[in-house]
Amino acid sequence: MGMISEFKAFAIKGNVVDLAIGVIIGGAFGKIVNSLIEDIITPIILKPALEAAGAANIESWAPGGMLLGKFISAVISFIVIAFVLFMIVKGINTARKSEATTPAAPPAPTTEEKLLTEIRDLLKNKSL
């Protein structure tokens, strides 16, 4: 088996592909969670607390719409990444199915099997 065919067999194994997709999806989902915390939840919690404390430069904070836009951008990015990975997995599954549907040629009979077949045929002809 050549190195390229060995690599192909390794790369499209279910476990390897599943692990790679899990890592990529996990990273993309981590961005959504990070954006939710930094851009949505933290400003909601901190803005009233800072206003009550009389902190200066509250006006310098980005408007809520911009922070919400960052979160929506992270969600859209996740959806695009998930769709691309879905298309990759679909292609890999199609490749696996085409390999599985191609039947392998039956192995040639061994010399032992040939001899046994000849003996069987001779015995069959002798009894007739």
Least confident residue range of 37-41, 45-49, 82-86: 45-49
What total of structural domains would you count in the chain? Answer: 1
CB distance 25 to 79 below 8 Å: no
Which is more confidently placed, 21 or 52?
21
pTM of the model: 0.57
* 3-class secondary-structure state, position 55: coil
Which is more confidently placed, 68 or 32?
32
**Residue 12 lies in domain:** 3-127
Q: Rounded to the nearest 5 degrees, what angle is found at the Cα of 86, between the Cα atoms of 6 and 28? A: 100
Task: Tell me what pLDDT residue 53 has.
Answer: 65
pLDDT for 110 beyond 80 = yes
Which range of 13-22, 23-32, 48-57 scores highest in mean pLDDT? It is 23-32
Tokens encoding 98 = 């085409």
Task: Tell me what pLDDT residue 16 has.
Answer: 79
Measured distance CA(89)–CA(122) in Å, rounded: 55
